[in-house]
Amino acid sequence: MNNKKIKTALVSVFYKDGLDELAKLLNQLGIRIISTGGTYTFIRDLGIPAESVESITSYPSILGGRVKTLHPLIFGGILARRENDEDKAHLAGYNIPEIDLVIVDLYPFTETLAETTNEAEIIEKIDIGGISLIRAAAKNYRDVLIISSRDQYPELAALLKETGGVTSLEQRKKFAARAFAVTSSYDTSIFNYFNPENQVQAFRKSADFPMSLRYGENPHQRGIFYGNTDEIFEKLHGKEISYNNLLDIDAALGLIAEFQKPAFVIIKHNNACGAAEKDNILQAWKDALAGDPVSAYGGVLACNRVVDRQAAAEIDKIFFEIIISPGYEPEALEVLKQKKNRIILAGKDIKFPPDTFRSVLNGVLWQERDCSTENRSVMKPVTVRVPDEREFEDLEFALKIVKHTKSNAIVLAKNRQLCASGTGQTSRVDALRQAIEKAAVFGFDLKGAVMASDAFFPFADSVEIACKAGITAVVQPGGSVRDADSVTFCDNHGMAMVFTGVRHFRH
C-alpha cells in the first residue's frame, strides 16, 4: 500500500540543465508530463509529448507570468489524498488529474541578490507558484514525490530506472524533508533581505552544504559543518579538515585580515601564540614563530602574502596542522606538500558576515560583528607623555591582536612583533603576569615594549606591574572609576597611556 506508481508528472523549472535526460526517461516510462511556459517549450523541442498547464486549467498565464500554476485543477491533483473518498469524489467531479510527481525549482533569489541591488529585479525573483507547488507536494508525500532541486535529478533518475517509476513511502518522505529544507532556506533569505537592520526582531538563519567531520570538538561528539568552504578557500593538499581546525581557521582569518603590511599569525586554540608584521613575509614568519615556538607546534598558520620558496623552506622546519595564504609559488608548494597530512589552503577574498551568533541555553545569542579596530587617530593620550612614532605603531599592532584574544586578555608587543599574551584569565592582573612570564621564557626584553588590554584596568596594579617589566606605553578602553589612579602612576613613571573608548571582550 505504501508503494506508488508514477503516472503523471508536473514539471516546471527555472534551470533546464539536466532536464533533457530526465524528461526522456519520464517519457520512456510512459509518464504523462504536464508543464508550464519555458519548460513546456523546452520539453516539446526535445520531441517529447507534454501538455501545457493552460490546456488543463483553460486559463492563460497572466500578470507577466506571476500566475501560472495557482489553480485548483493543479493543486487539487497534488493535494488530493488518494485513499480519501471525499477527495476522490472531488477529483472525479471536477475532472482533476492526479499528479504523482512534481519537479519544480525556485527562482534564483539569493543569486540575484549577489548580482544586483535593483529592488525591482530582486522582488521579481521571489517565487510564489513554485514554492507553493513544492510545499503542496511535500505535504502530500504519502501520495506524491517532490523533486525540489536540479541537484536531485541524478538520484531521481537512478530511482526511476531501478523501480520502473514506483516509489516507496520512505523515499517520498525523504524527498519531502529535502523540499522543506529548500523552502525554509529560501524564505530565510527573503526575510533577511527585508530585515537588514534587524528591525523585526526574529532570528532566522539557514545553512546548507553539510560537510561531515570525523567528530566534533572531541572524539565522542558528532560534528558537521554547514557552509560552503569553497567560498572561503581552496584546499590544495592534506587530510580532512576537522571541527577544531575550522574554529582555528576562522580565528586565523579574522586576525590576519586586520593587517595590510606583510604579516604572519600562528593560532592555537583560537588565540594567537605568534604574530608579526614586517617588511617581507619571511621575516614576518621568523618573528611570529619566535613569539612562542613551543605553542606553534601543531598550530594553524595564516599570512597575507604569497608564500615563496624561501619562506616555505623555513616554515617547513616545524610541524603544523594548516597553512592558509593568498597563494604559493610552485616551488613553495613542492616544499610544503612533502608532508602528506599537512593541510594547505589558498585563501580567497572574503567578506565576513555582519553579525555573529551561537547557541546558549535554549536559544541563540546574536550580535553585530566587532568591526571596530582603533588606530592612532582615535587613540586619546591621557598622560603627560604622548607615545612616540614607534610606540604608536606597536600600540596599533597590539590592539589588533588583543581584539582577537580570549578575555581577560593582555598583549605585549615590540617592533610589531607579539612578545607574549595572557589569554582567557579570570583577572587582568593574572593575564598580565602570564604574559610577562611567557615573554621571559622565550628571551624577550620588554624594555620599551607596549601593552594592550581588551578592557579597562579596575586598579592601578596592572600598570605598576607593567612598568616594572619595562613596558613604556599602554592602550586600553578606559572607563574605570579609578582611571585616574592608572594615569597618575604612568605620569609619575614616564609611561604613556592612550584611551580608545572601545572595549573588545571576547568570550
For residues 13 and 151, give the distance between their C-alpha atoms in angstroms, rounded to a whole number: 12
Q: Say if residues 266 and 323 touch (Cβ distance below 8 Å).
A: no
Q: Say if residues 13 and 3 touch (Cβ distance below 8 Å).
A: no
For residues 394 and 161, give the distance between their C-alpha atoms in angstroms, rounded to a whole number: 67
Burial of 219 (C-beta count, 10 Å sphere; 0-12/13-18/19+): exposed
Listed in sequence order, the residues at least 6 apart from 41 whose beta carbon sits closer than 8 Å to its beta carbon are none
Strand duo 410-413 + 380-381: pairing: unpaired
Task: Find the helix or strand (DSSP H, E) in which 91 lies.
Answer: helix 85-93
Separation in Å, CA 247 to CA 30, 201, 286, 475: 52, 28, 24, 28
- Confirm whether 139 is a catalytic residue: yes
- Give the number of other CB atoms < 10 A from CB of residue 121: 12
Task: Find the helix or strand (DSSP H, E) in which 158 lies.
Answer: helix 153-163
Q: Which residue has the cell 605568534?
A: 274
Q: Choosing from 139, 173, 235, 337, which is the catalytic residue?
A: 139
For residues 92-102, b (16+ Cβ closer than 10 Å) or e, as one string?
eeeebbbbbbb
Q: What are phi and psi of 16, to 5 degrees?
A: -100, -10
Separation in Å, CA 6 to CA 42, 48, 77, 299, 430: 22, 17, 13, 55, 70
Q: Residue 90 corresponds to which amino acid?
A: H
Q: Say if residues 450 and 394 touch (Cβ distance below 8 Å).
A: yes
Q: Choosing from 88, 235, 269, 493, which is the catalytic residue?
A: 269
Burial of 448 (C-beta count, 10 Å sphere; 0-12/13-18/19+): middle
Separation in Å, CA 361 to CA 201, 305, 358: 19, 41, 10
- Give the number of other CB atoms < 10 A from CB of residue 280: 13
- Confirm whether 493 is a catalytic residue: no
The residues carrying an active-site annotation are: 139, 269
